[in-house]
Chain A
Amino acid sequence: MNCEVAHERIVAAAYGELADEQSHELERHMDGCPDCRKEREQLLALKVLADAYPVQEPEANLVARSRLRLEEALDALPPLRWFERLGQLVKNNFASLTAAPVAACLLLAVGVGAGSVGGAWVARIRSVQAAAQAARVQAQPNAVSAAAVGAPAEIANISSIIRQPNSHTVEVDYNQMVPRRIEGSLDDPAIRQLLMMASQNSASAGVRDDSVSLMAAECKAGHSCRGAGIRDALMVALRYDRNKGVREKALEGLKPYVAEDVRVRDAVLEALMNDADPQIRTAAINILEPVEADTSVRQVLHSVSNTDVNPYIRTVSRQVLNSVPEIQ
């Protein structure tokens, strides 16, 4: 690093805007460069000097006067009439509105075309299919193996999930046009996909709960829950599921990743701040313990220890904060 670059970095560093790696380089450069050390001294002196012209809070009088003047001016403005509001709305959405008619026409044309071509085609092959179907139906109506599950688009919803006792096998009931059942190992991608769908789309809290707890168990056991979407599904469940039990299980499943994955940490921090349920907030505090020295974690703990409505949570977060000396 030459001195010119160093000088720029000295300024950035003095204002806390230098990346750690670059600060390290800068320190090394300055160890052997008295000129740059002097440069830094002078900059720090400037910072001290500049504070001789301090920022002052505006006086209450000034605030009141300004506010009054503004209110008078706002009162004097004629209220927007409905057509002016409409005009504003049109202007704001101008881009989307200009595109809309074109898109609508295209859609219509595509729809009409596909409808007429498709209709004729379907009529032609329906007779052939009906015969084949009749033959197939007699064999075995419902149970299929995991490999036979079609694309997720064919699946309407998921009605139950059962793990067979003492085994690695899970049964997922899901509906296509006809309800079906699939059986397979927890590692099976098709089963996993169904579990993830169940965690987000199922109308029944029980099913969501089952799927989330299975995924959480997978994560806790360290069974390839890396990147494969299960972790994301758990984060979504933690953030958005209406059912407390489901969120609790999702939180449990995310526990092993709080230290290594920042996104997981953020999700847990959000739960700590925003979750409506005190038990979940408490659980979040415990889970954050391995990373409690992290600045963002400390900030959230600090705010929770002051503002949470639940006194127990305030106490616990304070204890956690006190147990680790502040690093800085």
Chain B
Amino acid sequence: MNGGKSAEERMQARAPEMELIREAQAGSRAAFDTLVRQYEQQVLRLALHLTGSEHDAEDIYQEAFLKAYRYLGNFRFECSFYTWIYRIVTNLCLDQMRRRKTRREDHAVVVNHSGEEMDLLASVSDDRSFSNPAKELDRKVLGERIQLALEKLTPRERMVFELKHYQGLRLRTIGEMLSTTEETAKNTLFRATKKLRAQLAGVR
């Protein structure tokens, strides 16, 4: 996991990108399409990992870039475009997670990658596969167990952990994206790791 973009990459990348943004702001669809292509992989990767569902990731992609298109005129180069677009995506993901959390309270059913519903509690209640060290851990089941633990976090904790642990962003950038301070992001990360450890206490 790399620690975000290096200073030198940023310097190189910024000049042509600013040009693209200006063109897109002036109404060029081609320039906007180029911007979409630059960021779509990262947007999908994040949304897919956060929601665990291709369907949701696709929706977030759609909404995020439509929003970016609509409000591109408001982008005034005060932060990097990367931070700006991530701010849109993380907000959409947070909304989506909040909606899903209320839906999930009753039954722990998630939609897996291939779109079929599965009951996670049923699959993790069988603890033997985790507690028996002689048995090789089924990585897929373990992955689902992690996913379940992640979903026990509040949407914000989940987001900070995602951006730090999985996407490797700096806490300062994360704070900027979530419109909060680096210190708050750090505290949220601490809480998230604490909860995750409690959730995953039996798993080794």
Contacts and interface: CB of A to CB of B under 8 A. Distances in A.
A91 B166 CA distance: 38
Interface stretch (A46-54, A97-105, A139-147, A218-226): A46-54
Contacts, number: 119
A92 interface: yes
A49 B139 CA distance: 10
A107 interface: no
Interface-central residue, B36, B44, B150, B196, by most chain A CB under 10 Å: B44
A79 B29 CA distance: 10
Contact of A8 (B36, B190, B200): B190
A42 interface: yes
Contact of B197 (A46, A67, A85, A88): A46
Contacts of B143: 52-54
A274 B16 CA distance: 13
A53 B146 contact: yes
Contact of B165 (A50, A85, A300): A50
B8 A70 contact: no
B29 A74 contact: yes
Contact of A17 (B57, B76, B171): B171
A46 B49 contact: no
Interface in A257-274: 269-270, 273-274
A2 interface: no
Given A80-B27, A92-B73, A270-B11, A67 B45 contact: no
B3 A12 contact: no
Interface string A1-18: 000000110011001110
B8 A300 contact: yes
B109 interface: no
Given A42-B197, A69-B62, A273-B11, A55 B139 contact: no
B41 A57 contact: yes
Nearest to B71: A88
Contacts of A201: none
B49 to A, nearest CB: 5
B31 interface: no
B107 interface: no
B40 A67 contact: yes
A58 B8 contact: no
A43 B193 contact: yes
Contacts of A55: 45, 49, 166-167
A120 interface: no
A129 to B, nearest CB: 50
Interface-central residue, B7, B8, B166, by most chain A CB under 10 Å: B8
Contact of A66 (B40, B76, B139, B203): B40
Contacts of B36: 67, 70
B170 interface: yes
Contacts of B76: 92
A43 B27 CA distance: 49
Contacts of A74: 29, 32, 66, 69
Interface string A58-81: 100011011101110110010110
Nearest to B144: A53
B186 interface: yes
Nearest to A45: B204
Given A50-B146, A66-B62, A73-B62, A56 B8 contact: no
Nearest to A8: B190
A298 to B, nearest CB: 10
Nearest to B12: A273
Interface in B127-173: 139, 142-144, 146-147, 150, 164-167, 170-171
B54 interface: yes
A12 B189 CA distance: 9
10 contacts: A12-B186, A15-B165, A43-B197, A62-B57, A63-B44, A66-B62, A88-B73, A89-B73, A273-B11, A300-B8
Interface of A: 7-8, 11-12, 15-17, 42-43, 45-47, 49-50, 52-58, 62-63, 65-67, 69-71, 73-74, 77, 79-80, 85, 88-89, 91-92, 269-270, 273-274, 296, 299-300, 303
Given A50-B196, A70-B66, 10 more contacts: A11-B189, A15-B189, A50-B166, A55-B45, A56-B45, A66-B57, A66-B61, A77-B69, A296-B7, A296-B8
Interface of B: 3, 6-9, 11-12, 27, 29, 32-33, 36, 40-41, 44-45, 48-49, 54, 57-58, 61-62, 65-66, 69, 73-74, 76, 139, 142-144, 146-147, 150, 164-167, 170-171, 186-187, 189-190, 193, 196-197, 200, 203-204
